[in-house]
Structures are given as structure tokens and as C-alpha cells.
Amino acid sequence: MEVTRTEFEGLLIIGPRIFEDSRGYFYESYNLRTYKQAGIQYDFVQDNQSESKKGVIRGLHYQLAPHAQTKLVRVLEGSVYDVVVDLRRDSATFGKWYGIVLSGDNKLQLLVPRGFAHGFSTLSERALVLYKTDDFYNSESERGIIFNDDFLNIDWLLKSEDCIVSGRDMQLMRFQEAEFNF
């Protein structure tokens, strides 16, 4: 496994070791021992999976402390542009965003620590996204930031007329109005 650090403290890109032959491929998508040896010490308690069609934007979602979640995100099929926003007030990257293409082909994973809002746009005709969390879903602590916030100015790699956003996500707060306690 190859771990790449980003400029955002704790935000890691993880590339698994892939074994390919004429039959296809095999890789360990998660191995507790390997992760701990790499200094990644999380106890994941829940897996979440979504299917989205091209143009769907999900997010930007997070949970307030004490129910904040670390996420380990990967794409099983298709491709997404995975985006995070740093909500940690004491961080050098507070209020900045980071994006990376995750796909079934590149098999990269993004480790998103607590204190980040998370979302993605679907670039392929269909995408299956799977992510682990280190805390359970808690509806009372769920919050979000609207995807098209002018302050953040995120490029979702989609034309605005192609974006499909849920009514619920269209009601999310702007960054400068959002509640977060990190």
C-alpha cells in the first residue's frame, strides 16, 4: 500500500497493492494490520454505499463533534470527483477545498479525517461509492454546506446545467453561515 500525504493535515491518498493477471485482479481494500503499520489508527464501525448517475453531486456533508466521522472513501465502479473542505478552525488549510478523481480503475482511496465536509460529483454514467466511517450516523449532528458556495468556488468538473442535486442538499448552508465545531 502506498500512502500519499496532501497539504491538508491528515488527508491521505491510499493506493493499494494490486495483483493482476489474465484472470483479472486482486487487492486488499482494507487490512487493519497494514493500516496500523502505516500509522493509520482508526476503528471503522460502519460502511455506507451509494449509487449515482452522471451529473449527481452529493454533499457537502459532515457531522458535528462529538459524532464527527473519519471516512475512508473508494469507488467500486465508475468515477467521481471527490471533494473535501477543511472545517478545522486551527488548521493552516481552514476553508480550503481539495479534490481528487477516485475511480474503479485507479482504485485510489481517500482518507478524510474528522473536521472535513465531504461530497462528490459523478463523472461516469454510473458510479458506486463505498466508504467506511469511524462513528455511526447521527441525524441530530448532521450538517452540510451547499455545493455551489461562492466563497469556496469549487469546480465540480461538471457543466452547471448537467448538475443533479437533491432538494435537501440545495437547502444546505453557505460556508460562512454553516455550523461546525472543529
Active site residue 98: no
Neighbours of 68 (CB within 10 A): 21
Reduced to 3 states (helix: H, G, I; strand: E, B; else coil), residue 141 is helix
For residue 154, what is its C-alpha cell?
469549487
Of residues 30, 61, 67, 137, which has the active-site annotation? Answer: 61
* 167, containing H or E segment: helix 167-170
**End-to-end Cα distance, the chain:** 30
Reduced to 3 states (helix: H, G, I; strand: E, B; else coil), residue 36 is helix
Active site residue 67: no
How many whole angstroms separate alpha carbon 63 and alpha carbon 42? 17
How many whole angstroms separate alpha carbon 182 and alpha carbon 10? 14
Of residues 27, 118, 131, 137, which has the active-site annotation? Answer: 131
How many whole angstroms separate alpha carbon 102 and alpha carbon 8? 18
Which positions are catalytic?
Answer: 61, 131
